[in-house]
Chain A
């Protein structure tokens, strides 16, 4: 696995243009608070009032580096920082012409170029921001840590192009490690060859097909026996939405109620994709599937999706979270918590899994679909910890895009009329309202009877 580095993330909606970051940067690098010395630059769109940031992205394949005739710029492999050796720099400024982000700029006072050097790993701008608009994203540390772990999943599996399952499985297995038993009931994940075909397997951990209906029960049996003989073995499920929310719901519900120790990951592609795109109880309202077709009488699914993750909150789980592979670091953080929670009871992660094949969108748009799903609040990212008895939004979207921004990316929603879109918008808003009631600020506590 490649290497990833920390980055400075900017949340424009939290920025009020106070310029503290700019001044802190200038002070750190020049001893004065003169903004001319700052490597971080905030711009405001006078008309819309929004704030924008120009700052070195510490690119993976920086354009400035090869454009330097003096060899003064380098991408540091260990820290990820694109560093400038001022003793070599001749101020030719070809780097400023190469950078498309305004990340390396000319300082008219020193007559030299300057760029963000990450302040030795602890950027002062981030610390200076009083509103959390700048965040040092160290999730990549986790990624790097995970990258060093063994890859337990073979290459060359037969997933459809643009399927997020491989990403999910590979990363998850790396983190959870070989001391794991993996259950994956009939569906896309065994369909891509995870358990194997005719005598060969695709996974280096023990893995098996449970029935579509009994994933949680089988894992419970295994874990209990290992507990009995004093071995700490992790139980992990990758189950589709059918095996989770429909026909597998009973055994999952029972296992959750009993507090069985496992990490149960529902890979929700909103229907029975492996059998040819039929509807499930998590298929959203309005969606076309082969059993909720679009014709003159029917206009896609007529019912709303089952709120599976929320149901699990009410199921004595130790940990419940929603996730989306577009937000990898968010997922890492959640998996970390799930690993801990699964030592005490059930950890349930509901992974939104857009399906290019079944939903009709180009494979290249997978990540974008995930992003829009979150940014429209169609798929809010949150987590629930039993001890805290509340839901926390892990990627709050204060100013969500209209659901149409998401729906229009996906073929299965092509036919929607205004009324249907309005319905989806309303339900999306309501869902957020409901979730908010369970947050720290909200006034409802989920029932939690786990021992």
Chain B
């Protein structure tokens, strides 16, 4: 029976960040990295670029075998965890094998969910989460003329752009009134939508799908508004949920995800969770929730790893902040902390620049002289510096006017003075 000092389930961002953090402190301890995928570690975020053919599927791996060797990691691919037994410090694999551990990290990420729309299950629709999904979509895209995408979140939008680049005619259906509702407000989303439309992508926001039918390789989507859309391919990207089915019966606390504290410990001793699978404290309001994005997975993975190895430099999680960077058709957008803020509450000030003709937008939200949210389309800000200003709750009262007038310069100056 295999036994490791550190067992890491998953081989993506959260898993690899934890691995690095452990190896900094403990160069000797045995580490086993387990993934249900049949390949070397890769990131789901890269998959849309596989569909468009921009990136060769052989080139996407985050670590090669040699690097894993150098870190003295036992890498088990094609191995799925089906059950966890915290009392015995062991997990069961789909192969029937049992793995023992001293400390374990669950970094199993998220999986797509299908919406409860009649017909979806039978429509042989596609999702995009794994390399297998991407490769399949890539080959279909070579033949397909048109595609319908349900959901205008990051996955749907990335997929849309890349399928379009592969020559497929795209229509996106989104139930909410704007695209990328998880990250951008109306103006920013409007600019994104405008660019997509200019590139021939049809976007139907505020549209609810009543049912889906499929026949002869064609999918038809009926809308509540009465219209209908058909395509050679249906991609469902309406949402993801934490992948934690294997925890049934383990007694570990779960909610939307695996519930963790500020050092990513689960309710069970010697088990940590991080990334898309974890439900951790939010920066704003403190409520625990899943914050399924890549920067969050990296940060939580690092914290988990440091705590597992007892690194004294560990600083606990300051709370999840919605943040993302988004590149679309040569434009750039980013957002930090915009979602879930009541912009009309007391003490809130908003500073906006909106130049639709040149596809530019910038919005900064201050609360009690502190930056709480920023987003921009085609602005020259340093997203990482903006994120730190928010996270560190930097008091801007002395410099607010100058900050508003030149957030790029002032951001860099504050960075130099405070943490640079």
Stretch at the interface among B112-120, B143-151, B224-232, B405-413: B405-413
Q: Which of A67-75, A257-265, A365-373 contacts B (4 or more CB under 8 A)?
A: A67-75
Count, chain B residues at interface, CB 8 A: 51
Known A-B contacts A63-B298, A71-B62; A100 and B387 likewise in contact (beta carbons under 8 Å): yes
Tell me the nearest residue of chain A to B382, going by C-beta.
A102
B306 vs chain A, min Cβ distance (A): 11
Chain A CB within 8 A of B24 CB: yes
- Give Cα distance in the complex from A94 to B384, angstroms: 9
Selected contact of A67 from candidates B20, B294, B385, CB within 8 Å: B294
Q: In terms of DSSP, what is the predominant structure of the interface of chain A? A: loop
How far apart sit A47 and B44, CA to CA, in the bound complex (Å)?
46
Residues of B within 8 A of A333 (CB): none
- Asked whether A71 lies within 8 Å of B384 as measured between CB atoms, the reply is no
Contact A108 B380 (CB under 8 A): yes
Q: Which listed residue (B301, B327, B382) contacts A92, Cβ 8 A? A: B327
Which of the segments B53-61, B87-95, B248-256 contacts the partner chain?
A: B53-61
CB distance from B118 to the nearest CB of A (A): 35
Contact of B382 with A90 in the complex, beta carbons under 8 Å: no
B24: which of A61, A94, A106 is its contact (CB, 8 Å)? A61
- Chain A CB within 8 A of B330 CB: yes
Q: Which of A99, A100, A105 has the most CB of B within 10 A?
A: A100
B383 beta carbon closer than 8 Å to chain A: yes
Contacts of B384 in A (CB 8 A): 63, 96-102
Indicate if the CB atoms of B420 and A96 lie closer than 8 Å.
Answer: no
Contact B412 A93 (CB under 8 A): no
Interface residues of A in 26-77 (CB under 8 A from B): 41, 43-47, 52-54, 61, 63, 66-67, 69-71
In Å, the complex CA distance between A91 and B378 comes to 14
From B71-79, B208-216, B318-326, give the one contacting chain A. B318-326
CB distance from A243 to the nearest CB of B (A): 34
Q: Which partner residue on chain A sits nearest B63 by CB separation?
A: A71
Residue with the greatest number of chain A CB neighbours at <10 A, chosen from B323, B327, B388, B417 = B327
Q: How far is the CB of B250 from chain A (nearest CB, A)?
A: 28
Contact with A along B2-42 (1 / 0, CB 8 A): 00000000000100110010001000000000000000000
Assembled-state Cα–Cα distance A69/B55 (Å): 12
C-beta contact mask, B380-414 vs A, less than 8 Å → 1, else 0?
10111101100000000000001000101101110
Residue A111 is within 8 A (CB to CB) of chain B in the complex:
yes
Smallest CB gap from A44: residue in B? B409
Q: Take A44-B409, A54-B415 as given contacts and tell me if A91 and B327 are in contact as well, using a CB distance cutoff of 8 Å.
A: yes
A-B contact pairs, 23 of them (CB 8 A): A41-B412, A45-B409, A52-B412, A52-B416, A53-B416, A54-B382, A66-B301, A67-B298, A69-B44, A69-B45, A70-B43, A71-B60, A90-B55, A91-B327, A92-B325, A93-B334, A94-B295, A97-B334, A97-B336, A97-B383, A100-B388, A108-B332, A111-B330
Closest A-B pairs by Cβ, 3 of them: A69-B43, A69-B45, A102-B382
